[in-house]
Amino acid sequence: MRPDPTSARLSVAPMMDWTDRHCRVLHRQLSRHALLYTEMVTAPAVLHGDRARLLGFDPVEHPVALQLGGSNPGELAQATRIGADWGYDEINLNCGCPSDRVQSGAFGAVLMKSPDLVAECVAAMIAASPVEVTVKCRIGVDDQEPEEVLPAFLSTIRDAGVRRVAIHARKAWLQGLSPKENRDVPPLDYPLVHRMKAEFPDLHLSVNGGVGSLDEAKAHLAAGMDGVMVGRAAYHDPAGILAAADAAIWGESAATSAEEAVAAMLPYIEAHLAAGGRLHQVTRHMLGLFLGRPGARGWRRTLSEEGTRDGAGTDVVERALSFVTEAAEAA
């Protein structure tokens, strides 16, 4: 099945340790259309690691993109081919992640300083790939001047064949800030990203960074962006970002709900437990499902306390849900 080319209108950002396969299955219960990204997997890990663990996913997750980290064109090309063979709908190159581990491997955000190397990497990936190759980047790093380097970067990777880019609308400071600080401290520059859309009408550009609600996402689309990529807000408030997205962005008639997502997760969780998995591996991603709603605290607490015990089963989820349903009945 070919992926829906409009799915990148709203995407959930790649997030290490967060957007694992269980998280993505949850997000898919809330939106049929939004594009979902994996955690970053390095190209050497794809080549030499446990592929079933690193690349395995559930068919329900489509459309789903694999994010790769690396800066060796040959390795990236091989990893791209392998990812496409596993069934991913898109392969994305990480040019935005500032962590030390990643810097020492000379990839992630430091690649903003080497657009020609990025061009070589993506050209090799595109040549090896039956599916679309995309890039996620920053507006610049360290003392770079974003007004200059971002258009030069986009133009270089466009000439190498890239057609779709997600731009985290802030710089990364490679010295002195932790990866976490690098997601909050450097100021956001949405106007610059919006101007890039005007300057590169032939590129599909998504804005990323600090988008906190579906309304904010819609405002970026209304302002002309092709797509919006949401990270932390989608993780902490998945229903708030995703449950109304199919109706609001793709014109579907009805929104879904957190309750429906829980019901849809139960058979998935049963299968996970039957295969030897633990409840918390799935439910840790579900803690924010009822954020801001009556009963949310009981939901969270039950999942956090009981869901981590040995042998915990779906009855814990049902008990947790009763806090929300009883609060709704009492209202």
Ligand X SMILES: Cc1cc2nc3c(=O)[nH]c(=O)nc-3n(C[C@H](O)[C@H](O)[C@H](O)COP(=O)(O)O)c2cc1C
List, by residue number, the catalytic residues: 97
Given 9, 27, 164, 168, the residue binding ligand X (CB under 6 A): 168
SS3 state of residue 172:
strand
Subset of 47-66 contacting ligand X (CB under 6 A): none
Given 209, 238, 240, 295, the residue binding ligand X (CB under 6 A): 209
Does position 97 interact with ligand X (CB under 6 A)? The reply is: yes
Q: CB of 30: closest distance to ligand X in angstroms?
A: 16
Binding marks (x or -) toward ligand X, 234..253, rule CB under 6 A? --------------------
Q: Which is nearer to ligand X, 168 or 197 (CB)?
A: 168
Binding segment for ligand X (CB under 6 A), chosen from 14-22, 283-291, 305-313, 320-328, is: 14-22
Does position 210 interact with ligand X (CB under 6 A)? The reply is: yes
Subset of 65-84 contacting ligand X (CB under 6 A): 67
Q: Which is nearer to ligand X, 51 or 232 (CB)?
A: 232
**Taking the CA of residue 71 as centre, how many other CA atoms within 13 Å lie in the half-sphere pointing to its CB?**
20
Report the distance separating Cα 154 and Cα 163, nearest Å: 10
CB 51 within 8 A of CB 30: no
Token digits of residue 77:
């090309």
232 labeled part of a ligand binding site:
yes
**Taking the CA of residue 172 as centre, how many other CA atoms within 13 Å lie in the half-sphere pointing to its CB?**
25
Given 70, 96, 140, 295, the residue binding ligand X (CB under 6 A): 96
Q: CB of 52: closest distance to ligand X in angstroms?
A: 20
Q: CB of 38: closest distance to ligand X in angstroms?
A: 8
Q: Which is nearer to ligand X, 10 or 316 (CB)?
A: 10
**Which residue has 């939106």 as its token pair?**
31
CB atoms within 10 A of CB 28: 23
Given 3, 4, 16, 322, the residue binding ligand X (CB under 6 A): 16
281 labeled part of a ligand binding site:
no
Report the distance separating Cα 147 and Cα 125, nearest Å: 27
Query: Shortest Cβ contact with ligand X: which residue?
Result: 231
Query: Where does the chain have alpha helices with state H?
Result: 21-30, 43-48, 51-55, 73-85, 100-104, 115-128, 146-159, 190-199, 214-222, 232-236, 238-242, 245-250, 258-274, 279-283, 296-306, 314-330
Q: Which is nearer to ligand X, 28 or 168 (CB)?
A: 168
Report the distance separating Cα 34 and Cα 17, nearest Å: 20
Total residues at the site for ligand X (CB under 6 A)? 23
Q: What share of the chain is helix, strand, coil (3-state, %, to 5)?
A: 50, 15, 35
Does position 173 interact with ligand X (CB under 6 A)? The reply is: no
Give the pairing type, strands 164-168 and 64-69.
unpaired
Residues within the interface to ligand X (CB under 6 A) = 13-18, 39-40, 67, 94, 96-97, 136, 168, 183, 208-211, 230-233
Detail the residues annotated as belonging to a binding site for FMN. 14-16, 67, 136, 168, 208-210, 231-232
